[in-house]
Amino acid sequence: MECRTTYDFEKQAQKVYTIAKFKHFQDELTAGTTYCEIMNSREGGYVTEYDIREDIMIGEHKKRMMFVVSFRRQECDVKCSCNLFEFKGLLCRHVLKVFIRNDVLLIPDKYILRRWRKDMSRCHSNLKVNYCSWCATEDDKRFQRMSHEFTKVTNIATTDDVFCNYVIGRLDTLSTELSAMRLSNEVEQSTSKIIDCEASTS
Ligand SMILES: [Zn+2]
């Protein structure tokens, strides 16, 4: 599918998104450049708020609606009152309008969800090939098995702060437990070596 504009982030979207998601992205971008207007902006500390007016056609009737985009330039954090990203995992027309205004050339990585990426589906098929392949080492196989499970978890939790914090908290506990297990294993192994040595010298 061809790009409709010359904005770099459209090229980026074409490269990273699946075809269906890229089409959705293009529709948002076109609507942003065609039907959305920045009416007002307020600077406040680190955050700038933009009032965006959108012309929405409902049948024959034109309706004007207002949305507010908060933009934190330093971290390139962005949030829109329409909540499209929270619901669909895609940046909305209003945010794209603000990106254009602020010369944000590329979509920050954090706003490109893994589940809409082309390389994710490719990664899944690689995974199967590697996993089944006779040349994969035991470490590779274990790594692939775990990555597969992690991907399932991150795909579920990635759009929700509470879920995300829960996953991180659980992983943190898991990592502490694993370190403790590894340590006690090492102690056990070195103790048995000492016992072996003592047995062979006596
Ligand atoms: Zn929006």
Residue with the larger pLDDT of the pair 150 and 128: 150
Mean pLDDT over 30-54 rounds to: 95
| Mean pLDDT calculated for residue range 56-84 | 93
Where do the structural domains in the chain lie, given as residue ranges?
Answer: 8-116, 138-199
Residue 69 CA to ligand 1 centre (angstroms)? 7
> What does the alpha-carbon distance between residue 41 and residue 101 come to, in Å, rounded to a whole number?
11
Q: Which two tokens stand for residue 8?
A: 């770099």
Q: What φ, ψ does residue 59 adopt, rounded to 5°? A: 60, -120
Whole-number Å distance, alpha carbon 98 to ligand 1 midpoint, is 10
Question: Ligand 1: distance of its center to the CA of 176 in Å?
Answer: 41
Is residue 21 very low, low, confident or very high in pLDDT (cuts 50, 70, 90)? very high
The helix (H) or strand (E) run that includes residue 33 is helix 19-35
Centre of ligand 1 to C-alpha 22, Å, is: 17
- Residue 129: its pLDDT value, please? 38
Q: Could you tell me which of 46, 47, 65, 67 has the C-alpha nearest to residue 55?
A: 65
φ, ψ (nearest 5 deg) of residue 18: -65, 160
Residues, CB-to-ion distance under 5 Å, ligand 1:
67, 80, 82, 92, 94
Q: What is the mean pLDDT of residues 107-126?
A: 75
Judge whether residue 124 has pLDDT over 50: no
CB 33 within 8 A of CB 6: no
Ligand 1 centre distance from Cα of residue 52 (Å): 9
CB 52 within 8 A of CB 68: yes
Going by pLDDT thresholds of 50, 70 and 90, the confidence category of residue 82 is: very high
Q: If you measure from the C-alpha of residue 95 to the centroid of ligand 1, how many angstroms do you get, rounded to a whole number?
A: 6
Q: Is the pLDDT of residue 74 over 70?
A: yes
